[in-house]
Structure 1
């Protein structure tokens, strides 16, 4: 069963818009650096007032839990987290769930 991996980032106030963009580019590049595990990645900058200070986010869809685990343990992912994400954030939320059949919109 497919798995959604949602990450919300609260960037430090000192992080520039360009640096925020660079973080998102590093995340999306992981799709090609870790082949055959990630089905899709969607990312962007928050515009809602109710985000409690979280500024950037992304959602990745993986084939299954094993693919997510492969991604989590990959050196490429670890490097992006340690060198690019963590030094630039004040907080992070991770939320993973299996995508159930009833998630499909019904008309």
Structure 2
């Protein structure tokens, strides 16, 4: 299994409603793409002041790296990222951190 971790630094004027809609959009993508297992999303709750502005994120699990690659290239993901997610971020792609790793089962 491959875990896809994404952290966001949303623009200061991005509302909580917009952030919730974006996270709902990721849940919709997972539901329709083969090889995507689950997604969870939320706001950072750590008491440590180490988020560096990346206060929101999601974790998406895939059956394999190839399933993740198919998701990244899928037209619905690309359209959603370009049309909805990136415009809501503080500095576009500079406001995203992605970290993927294999999960031992």
Q: TM-score, normalised to structure 1's length?
A: 0.86
Taking the aligned partners of 2:44 and 2:28, their CA distance within structure 1 comes to 20
Calculate the aligned-residue CA RMSD, in Å: 1.1
Q: Deviations over 1:76-100 (max 9, x none)?
A: 1101110111001120000011112
Q: How does 1:15-30 map onto structure 2 within 5 Å?
A: 15-30=14-29
Shift of 1:69: 0.7
Structure 1 unaligned segments of length 5 or more: list them.
102-107
What's 1:105 paired with? none
Mark the runs of 5 or more structure 2 residues left unpaired by the alignment. none
- Number of residues paired by the alignment? 99
Q: Which has the higher strand share?
A: 1
Give TM-score scaled by structure 2 length: 0.88
* Matching residue of 2:40: 42
Q: Which has the greater radius of gyration?
A: 1
